Every structure is written in C-alpha cells, then in structure tokens.
C-alpha cells in the first residue's frame, strides 16, 4: 500500500515561533496563578511546548489534565461529551486555561468550559493551536489561537487519525487527489 501524500500546512518552525508568541500573550494576560488544563489527547504535544515557553516567559503554571471524548451526531452540534478521565485538582475560585489542539464545532470546549465554571472556577480561558472558524456551531471562541485552520482533516503535532500520525513534527492534511 502506498503512503498517503500529506500537505504540510504548518511546519515545525512556524509552529515553534507561533507557540512562543502565544506563551508571551498568555504571560502578559491578566490570568492569575492559572491552572493549565490540556484536553487529552490531541493537545499533548502543543501543551508540552506551551508550558516550556511559558517557563521561558517566567510564567509559572500548575498543570492538570482532563480526557474528554465527544460523540458527534448527524448535525455534530447535538453531539454529547463524556469525561473519560477527570482532573485531580479542585478548580474552585481559580483561573483555568483550557488547552486544546483544535477548536472545531466547539462542542468539546463549550462542555469543558461549562463543566469547570459549574465546579466553581473563577474564570475559564481557552488556548487552541488551530481554529476551524467556519465549522463553529457552539457559542465559544478561544482567547489564544495559534493558527486559523482550513476546513480539512488535519494530523500531526499530537493530532491523530485513528491513533496514528501524532508523532509528525508538523501539522498536515491528506492531499486531495
């Protein structure tokens, strides 16, 4: 079987430069003593780079994880989200920065934001590597966005297709034949 051709959308250098800029913006924001919460699994590479750039900006964060799975329906906007693995930290009264790979319809991050607000977080901000703006069906926007992403299925830099391709150091999309 021949390997699929992958178009590189955001290469290593572009991602690295952009993540550094996001870290600067987060460090200069009014987030106070934030708990950074990567939404697993797709965000793990982005989050790993982001927290080290935050350190370079002398901006300490605590990190805890939540693992979510969204089940889309025909219309996607009516899908449901399940907590597969919950956080350990209490978010009461805290500033939380949710970190995810892709803001797509917004179902997953709207669920996560509402869950943490219900649990008593003081505020919940969002940092996403990729924003598929035209796909949005939920009322949610990210506070920190790496790149606006075309409406294509992307892989790499932690983002998978059936658990594969997460190891690619760039974000790519399968070439349309």
Residues that bind Mg ion in the complex, under the rule CB under 5 A = 42
| Residue 105 binding target from Mg ion, ligand IMP, none, CB below 5 to 8 Å by type | ligand IMP
CA distance 128 to 26: 12
Query: Among 64, 104, 114, 143, which one carries the catalytic annotation?
Result: 104
**Which residues on neighbouring strands pair with residue 69, listed in sequence order?**
82
Query: CB under 5 to 8 A by kind: which of Mg ion, ligand IMP, none does 129 bind?
Result: none
Hunting for tokens 């982005």 — which residue is that?
Answer: 46
154 binds, among Mg ion, ligand IMP, none (CB under 5 to 8 A by kind): ligand IMP
Minimum distance between the CB of residue 88 and Mg ion, rounded to whole angstroms? Answer: 20
Report the residue number, 35 or 103, with the smaller CB distance to ligand IMP.
103
Tokens of 35: 């708990």
**Of 7 and 28, which has the nearer Cβ to ligand IMP?**
7
**Rule CB under 6 A: which residues touch ligand IMP?**
42, 70, 100-108, 153-154, 159
Q: List all residues 6 or more positions away from 74 whose beta carbon is below 8 Å from its beta carbon.
A: none
104 is catalytic: yes
116 and 98 Cβ atoms separated by less than 8 Å: yes
* Residue 76 burial class via C-beta count within 10 angstroms: exposed 0-12, middle 13-18, buried 19 and up: middle
Number of H helices, E strands in the chain: 3, 10
User: Which one, 49 or 100, has the nearer CB to ligand IMP?
Assistant: 100
| Residues with active-site annotation | 104
């Amino acid at each position: 079987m021949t390997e699929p051709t992958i178009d590189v959308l955001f290469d290593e250098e572009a991602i690295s430069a952009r993540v550094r800029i996001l870290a600067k913006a987060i460090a200069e924001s009014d987030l106070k003593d934030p708990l950074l919460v990567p939404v697993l699994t797709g965000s793990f590479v982005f989050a790993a780079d982001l927290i080290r750039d935050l350190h370079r900006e002398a901006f300490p964060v605590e990190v805890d994880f939540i693992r979510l799975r969204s089940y889309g329906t025909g219309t996607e906007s009516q899908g449901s989200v399940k907590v597969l693995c919950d956080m350990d930290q209490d978010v009461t009264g805290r500033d939380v920065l949710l970190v995810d790979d892709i803001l797509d319809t917004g179902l997953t991050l709207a669920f996560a934001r509402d869950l943490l607000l219900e649990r008593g977080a003081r505020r919940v901000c969002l940092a996403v590597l990729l924003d598929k703006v035209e796909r949005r069906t939920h009322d949610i926007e990210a506070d920190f966005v790496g790149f606006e992403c075309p409406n294509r299925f992307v892989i790499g830099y932690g983002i998978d297709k059936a658990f594969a391709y997460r190891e690619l150091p760039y974000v790519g999309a399968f070439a349309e034949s």
